[in-house]
């Protein structure tokens, strides 16, 4: 029905009125977004402008997130190219700046420029900002800005944030964001204050305070960047620093959904299945690797063997096993580890941390579901069960697709580097796993890569960080086939 004019209706014939009404109805029925003429003089052009201003470019939320990450990598590259960011007061090369920006935004920690000695305070500040943005997600910050301005958040913004946080429902989305904000402020502030008690006496007020702030941001976001030339090797046996850093990257690596669930529901029985699997999987991925890694390195004179105290060896070993699942800090020389310990580290780096966390990898719950599916197969069960809940076939298809895609990326990158770089196979494998898992540990290969090698590692870091977003976008599109074919058995094994 045509909209009635508020002005005085001019005199005209009934036939003309009928034609006008018919034309209006036809136009409205043909296109709901078409522009209709207003009976008031001069308002037609205004109506056109109003409709034109409402036209927007439709971009998928996942694509918008990926473009946002790319934009911040480019902005970070520009910031690091400034002469004031370099200790030599000369702009670093474009390749170095781009690699460092990509590593910071993807919270990886691999470096081709020493953050401690070759970057000024300005350069380190740029890296810290990129770490914070990349670790928590760009759209989280966008929502925070909108909330601080008391602006309304539309459905499109919520969809983008939903993809960034890996949620399937919009109902508790804003509550989760508020939990993230509180967690970030409390953890990073407390971590900086506590570490300042150690760093300030060692390095002075200003430098010590900055070391504390930077390491608190880097630890919580599982980035692994450090303002010390040898990372945290100088504090390898300091239980104070070890405890704070471990607490920060463990909380950041559990996943915001898990922390949100624990804060709101203090009882085990009401926790979600995801929270239960994540907690048990984390405990298992700490205790079992520790029982393997400690004997492999206990007598190594270049790692644990150089420590006299049994307590110090246990502390360093504990830290090194925990940091391998994406934290990226090291308190010993990773290049001096035995092959067995290096291989175990590669496996842990690929597994990574929790979903919707600052960690990378295929994620702990993905690994746990693979184990549950294997157990169900050997027990000849028709469905996968855990804690009185069944796991749908669609979820297992997601797991298989994610693992297959991840392994393909790792193998392709491994082939590319083996063919083009001169290095030991285990060193290359270690570098590839570290880049994909956004860990940042290295056995010395990062600085030896040529331009092509850097490009491969940068691509792997980026896909390791935003890959699950792209993967989730395809899984979110559900298409039901209209044709069913007869099933047939395939011989396996």
Tens-place pLDDT, residues 164-221? 555 555 556 667 777 788 888 999 999 999 999 999 999 999 999 999 999 999 999 9
Q: What is the pLDDT of residue 468?
A: 59
User: What is the average pLDDT score of the chain?
Assistant: 82
Residue-level pLDDT at 484? 78
Q: The tokens 């300091």 sit on which residue?
A: 238
pLDDT tens per residue across span 380-390: 888 898 998 99
488 pLDDT band, cuts 50/70/90, is confident
* Element at 389 (helix H, strand E): strand 389-391
More confident residue, 102 or 12: 102
CA atoms within 13 A on the CB side of 234: 10
Tell me the β-bridge partners of 391.
Answer: 384
Nearest to 65 by CA among 127, 141, 132, 150: 141
In whole angstroms, give the CA distance from residue 364 to residue 196.
32
Is 4 or 215 the better-scoring residue by pLDDT? Answer: 215
The mean pLDDT value for 232-249 works out to: 95
Q: What pLDDT does 135 receive?
A: 84
Residues 6+ apart with CB under 8 A from 436: 349, 350, 360, 361, 406, 409, 410, 413, 460, 461, 463, 464
**In this predicted structure, what is the pLDDT of residue 74?**
96
The string of pLDDT tens digits covering residues 16-65 is 444 444 444 444 444 434 334 344 444 444 444 444 444 444 555 566 67
Average pLDDT over residues 376-405: 87
**Helix (H) / strand (E) containing 385:** strand 384-386
**pLDDT for 165:** 55
Domain ranges of the chain: 61-476
Most confident of 31-45, 282-296, 348-362: 282-296
> E strand or H helix at 45, and its extent?
helix 43-53
Whether residue 325 has pLDDT greater than 80: yes
Q: Which residue has the higher pLDDT, 414 or 15?
A: 414
Q: How far apart are CA 299 and CA 237, in angstroms?
A: 17
Q: Which residues of 87-102 are buried (b: 16+ CB within 10 A; e: fewer)?
A: eeeeebeebbbbbbbb
Section 237-266 average pLDDT: 90
C-beta atoms surrounding 24 within 10 Å: 15
Closest CA to 476 of 166, 56, 57: 166
> What's the pLDDT band for 299 if we cut at 50, 70, 90?
very high
Contacts for 185 with CB less than 8 Å, ≥ 6 apart: none
Per-residue pLDDT band for 148 (boundaries 50, 70, 90) equals low
pLDDT at 19: 44
Q: What pLDDT is stored for residue 172 in this prediction?
A: 62
4 confidence band (pLDDT: 50, 70, 90): very low
pTM for the structure as a whole: 0.82
**Sign of the alpha-carbon torsion through 340, 341, 345, 347:** positive
More confident residue, 338 or 401: 338
Q: Are 296 and 321 in contact (CB under 8 A)?
A: no
């Amino acid at each position: 029905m045509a909209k009635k004019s508020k002005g005085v209706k001019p005199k005209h014939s009934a036939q003309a009125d009928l034609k006008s009404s018919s034309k209006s109805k036809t136009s409205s029925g043909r296109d709901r977004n078409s522009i209709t003429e207003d009976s008031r003089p001069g308002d037609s052009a205004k109506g056109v402008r109003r409709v034109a201003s409402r036209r927007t470019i439709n971009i998928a939320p996942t694509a918008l997130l990926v473009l946002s990450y790319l934009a911040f990598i480019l902005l970070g590259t520009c910031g690091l190219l400034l002469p004031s960011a370099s200790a030599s007061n000369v702009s670093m090369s474009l390749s170095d700046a781009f690699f460092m920006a990509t590593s910071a935004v993807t919270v990886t920690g691999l470096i081709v420029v020493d953050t401690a000695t070759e970057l000024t305070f300005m350069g380190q500040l740029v890296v810290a900002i990129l770490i914070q943005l990349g670790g928590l997600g760009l759209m989280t910050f966008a929502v925070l800005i909108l909330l601080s301005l008391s602006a309304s958040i539309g459905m499109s913004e919520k969809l983008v944030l939903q993809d960034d946080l890996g949620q399937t429902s919009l109902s508790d989305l804003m509550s989760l964001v508020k939990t993230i904000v509180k967690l970030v402020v409390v953890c990073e502030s407390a971590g900086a204050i506590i570490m300042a008690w150690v760093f300030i006496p060692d390095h002075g007020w200003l430098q010590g305070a900055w070391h504390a702030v930077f390491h608190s941001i880097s630890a919580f976001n599982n980035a692994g960047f450090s303002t010390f030339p040898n990372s945290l090797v100088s504090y390898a046996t300091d239980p104070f620093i070890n405890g704070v850093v471990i607490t920060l990257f463990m909380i950041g690596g559990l996943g915001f959904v898990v922390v949100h669930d624990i804060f709101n529901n203090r009882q085990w029985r009401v926790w979600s299945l995801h929270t239960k699997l994540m907690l048990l999987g984390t405990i298992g991925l700490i205790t079992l690797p520790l029982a393997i890694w400690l004997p492999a390195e206990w007598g190594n004179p270049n790692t644990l063997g150089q420590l006299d105290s049994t307590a110090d060896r246990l502390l360093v070993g504990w830290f090194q096993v925990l940091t391998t699942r994406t934290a990226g800090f090291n308190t010993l020389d990773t290049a001096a580890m035995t092959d067995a310990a290096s291989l175990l580290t590669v496996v842990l780096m690929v597994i990574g941390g929790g979903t919707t966390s600052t960690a990378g990898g295929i994620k702990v719950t993905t690994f746990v579901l693979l184990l549950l599916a294997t157990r169900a197969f050997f027990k000849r069960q028709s469905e996968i069960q855990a804690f009185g809940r069944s796991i749908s076939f669609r979820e297992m298809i997601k797991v298989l697709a994610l693992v297959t895609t991840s392994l393909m990326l790792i193998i392709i990158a491994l082939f590319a580097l083996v063919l083009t770089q001169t290095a030991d196979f285990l060193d290359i494998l270690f570098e590839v796993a570290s880049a994909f898992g956004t860990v940042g540990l290295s056995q010395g290969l990062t600085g030896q890569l040529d331009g092509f090698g850097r490009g491969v590692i940068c691509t792997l870091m980026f896909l390791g960080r935003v890959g699950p977003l792209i993967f989730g976008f395809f899984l979110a599109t559900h298409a039901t086939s209209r044709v069913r074919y007869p099933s047939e058995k395939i011989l396996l094994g």
